[in-house]
Amino acid sequence: MGLRPEYEFVRAALLHRNPLPSLDAAVQEILFEEKRLGIVSSLHSDVALATTYLRQANETIFCKNCKLHGHKFANCPTIECRYCHRRGHILDNCPTIPPRPPGHSHKPKFSHKVDSSSVVVAATSSDITEPSSLQLTDLHDLLKQMISSQSTALAVTSGTSWLLDSTCCNHMTSDISLSSSHIPVQSLPPIHSADGNFMSISHIGTINTPTIKLSNTYHVPNLTFNLASVGQLCDLGLTIIFSSHGCQVQDSQMGQVIGTRRKVGRLFELTSLQHSPVFPAISAPVTDNTLFQWHLRLGHASSNKLRSLTSTGLLSNVSQFNTFDCLHCKMAKQPALSFPKSASLCDKPFGLIHYDIWGPAPCPTVNGYRYFVLFIDDYSRFTWIYFLRNRSSLYQIYVDFANMVQTQFSSKIKILRTDNAMEYKDSRFLSFLAQQGTLIQRSCPHTSQQNERAECKHRHILDSVCAQLFSGSCPEKFWGKAALTSVYVINCLPS
């Protein structure tokens, strides 16, 4: 239960008195201050009273924004606030702006001064009434209710509950039966409680229950509740996220939620926590000589290294090489997660065509081309290549290819798979596909893996082009001829 910022001076004065005043005296002081603040606020509210002086003054007020009389610039109905972008007020008078901190003096740029002759406020000592016994009784009941509500959360927690505590140096419990292993201690300093008492530590153990695992836990016999230390969890590399619904404990390295806590009142109760700080490579027994254990012992060595050591007999008790899957190697060595391979396969020619463009090339061909387009049949993997001077020719190239397929093979393209380039969203291009009855499939933005067939074919052709140019000592401008040769050879070779 707290006071608003305007009562800060009264609160400071009460706290600095020696001895401290009683509750009745403190409540009476606050009521006097509340009455005084009400009188001060009435001085500002009386400005709204319509007086002859104010009406005459309003007729001479001129607004520089709308060029009209009767109001000032700050109250102009056409002015726009720079904070909420609503009309009728300025930034200094914005009702939605966040409140300023206590003690922050802010004087509005446009303030209306009221003549003291037009407004008269009389305040006498008779206006300040003594607090009645009913008011004091209500305040006493309210204070008791607020104090008792804070202990409601403690009443609903059981003796086996674990509460999150940010002031504990270690996990603490009074029930030694919860620990799976413990050792007695005598040299540790006592625990200082909030009421100034001291509690001794008798044992240090590991809590191992079906839902909670906590290592290095103090056994304090005089402790009332089981406390889980926030600092000790953070030292293990864990991240604790608090919210109004509870909190979560995450492993920052794996990104997994290993513990949950529910919110009981204003306390956070630990419902589950499974964390093993000991790594499997360290805890593995020496007699365990599986290939995966050697992989862990040798600092996650590659499969080729292990295969070489196995073949030479340097790894004891490992006679053959067995494949294994190490999740930690994938997370540490791969720049991205593996993308699943496409299992789709067309059962007829031209049922699915992969379509993609490459370019611009750093050097144009002999004929001035900088781009090339690939059409790949998903059924036969047969590839067609077309050269372009600019990307605007994509529409005409596809029309020529579709006409060639219909004339030479008496077939139509059923599905066209492309990336998300803007050229494939052209209205002429989409209209032609609708006329041909061709469906278009686009990959997601920045996901080239979904257009894998075309991207891999690009890489295959470009690698072959570079090898031909290097081996023949040809100028770069002949890369187009080399690309045609590569596509022809790839189509002739068995796939």
For residue 226, the domain's CATH number is 2.40.70
27 belongs to a structural domain: no
The answer on 421 and 378 residing in a single domain is yes
Greatest mean pLDDT among 116-125, 236-245, 408-417 lies in 408-417
- Please report, for residues 281, 296, 475, the alpha-carbon distance to residue 303 in angstroms, rounded to integers and kept in the order given: 17, 12, 41
The answer on 239 and 169 residing in a single domain is yes
> Hey, what are 483's tokens?
């690309």
The answer on 474 and 357 residing in a single domain is yes
How does residue 282 score in pLDDT terms, banded at 50, 70 and 90?
Answer: very low
Which pLDDT value is given to residue 364? 93
Q: Which position has the higher pLDDT, 404 or 144?
A: 404
Among the candidates 273, 288, 307, a domain finishes at 273
Q: Across residues 36-42, what is the average pLDDT?
A: 63
- Write the pLDDT tens digit of every residue in 419-461: 888 888 889 999 999 999 999 998 888 877 788 888 899 999 9
Which pLDDT value is given to residue 487? 95
Q: For residue 223, what are the domain limits?
A: 158-273
Q: Is the pLDDT at 115 greater than 60, yes or no? A: no
The answer on 477 and 439 residing in a single domain is yes
Q: Other C-beta atoms within 10 Å of 409: how many?
A: 10
CATH number at residue 454: 3.30.420.10
Contact 71, 58 (CB under 8 A): yes
181 belongs to a structural domain: yes
The answer on 401 and 285 residing in a single domain is no
Q: Is the pLDDT at 352 greater than 90, yes or no? A: yes
The total of structural domains in the chain comes to 3
Which pLDDT value is given to residue 389? 92
128 belongs to a structural domain: no
Q: Is the pLDDT at 281 greater than 60, yes or no? A: no
CA–CA distance, 475 with 207 (Å, rounded to integer): 73
The answer on 358 and 465 residing in a single domain is yes
362 belongs to a structural domain: yes
The answer on 412 and 360 residing in a single domain is yes
CA dihedral 133, 137, 138, 143 (to 10 degrees): 140
Which pLDDT value is given to residue 350? 93
Q: Which position has the higher pLDDT, 416 or 89?
A: 416
Q: Is the pLDDT at 235 greater than 90, yes or no? A: no
How does residue 99 score in pLDDT terms, banded at 50, 70 and 90?
Answer: low
Q: Is the pLDDT at 113 greater than 60, yes or no? A: no
Q: Is the pLDDT at 180 greater than 60, yes or no? A: yes
Q: Is the pLDDT at 492 greater than 60, yes or no? A: yes
Q: Is the pLDDT at 218 greater than 70, yes or no? A: yes
Q: Which position has the higher pLDDT, 94 or 172?
A: 172
- Write the pLDDT tens digit of every residue in 121-149: 333 444 444 545 545 566 556 555 554 44
363 belongs to a structural domain: yes
Predicted TM-score (pTM) of this structure: 0.39
The answer on 485 and 359 residing in a single domain is yes
Q: Across residues 300-311, what is the average pLDDT?
A: 81
Q: Is the pLDDT at 77 greater than 50, yes or no? A: yes
229 belongs to a structural domain: yes
Averaged pLDDT score across all residues of the chain = 75
The answer on 315 and 229 residing in a single domain is no
Q: Across residues 161-177, what is the average pLDDT?
A: 81
The answer on 407 and 284 residing in a single domain is no
Query: Which amino acid type is present at position 10?
Result: V
292 belongs to a structural domain: yes
The answer on 306 and 368 residing in a single domain is no
Of 107-111, 227-231, 303-307, 428-432, least confident by mean pLDDT is: 107-111
Which pLDDT value is given to residue 477? 92
43 belongs to a structural domain: no
Q: Across residues 454-470, what is the average pLDDT?
A: 91
Q: Percentage of residues in the chain with pLDDT exceeding 90? A: 22
Cα angle: 256, vertex 259, 261; to 5 degrees: 135
How does residue 159 score in pLDDT terms, banded at 50, 70 and 90?
Answer: low
CA–CA distance, 54 with 422 (Å, rounded to integer): 65
Q: Which position has the higher pLDDT, 459 or 299?
A: 459
Among the candidates 273, 292, 308, a domain finishes at 273
Q: Is the pLDDT at 279 greater than 50, yes or no? A: no
How does residue 56 score in pLDDT terms, banded at 50, 70 and 90?
Answer: low
The answer on 260 and 241 residing in a single domain is yes
Q: Across residues 20-26, what is the average pLDDT?
A: 76
Q: Is the pLDDT at 109 greater than 50, yes or no? A: no
